[in-house]
Amino acid sequence: MIKGYKIITLCGSTRFRDQFFQVQKKLTLEGNIVISVGLFGHAGDDDVWKPGVKQMLDDMHLRKIDMADEIYVINVGGYIGESTKREILYAKLNGKKVNYFVNMKEIYLAGGCFWGTEHYFKKIKGVLQTQVGYANGITEKPTYKDVCTDKTRFAETVKVVYDPNVVGLRFLINMFFKAIDPLSLNQQGHDVGTQYRTGIYYTDPDDMPIIEEVWKHQQEAYSQPIAVEKLPLTNFYEAEDYHQDYLDKNPDGYCHLPLELFTFAKNAIPTTD
**From CA 131, how far away is CA 115, in angstroms rounded?**
10
List 11, 113, 148, 255, catalytic entry: 113
**From CA 211, how far away is CA 208, in angstroms rounded?**
5
Q: What are phi and psi of 153, to 5 degrees?
A: 65, 15
Q: Is residue 163 a contact partner of residue 103, using CB atoms and an 8 Å limit?
A: yes
The verdict on whether 11 is a catalytic residue reads no
Q: Which amino acid is at 67?
A: M
Q: Is residue 16 a contact partner of residue 76, using CB atoms and an 8 Å limit?
A: yes
| Alpha-carbon separation of residue 183 from 51, 87, 137, 203, 209 (angstroms) | 53, 39, 22, 25, 22
Q: E strands along the chain, which residues?
A: 7-11, 33-36, 70-74, 97-101, 105-111, 127-135, 155-162, 187-188, 191-192, 198-202, 229-232, 236-238
Q: Which amino acid is at 187?
A: Q
> Greatest CA separation found in the chain?
63
Q: Is residue 1 a contact partner of residue 67, using CB atoms and an 8 Å limit?
A: yes
Residues tagged active-site: 113
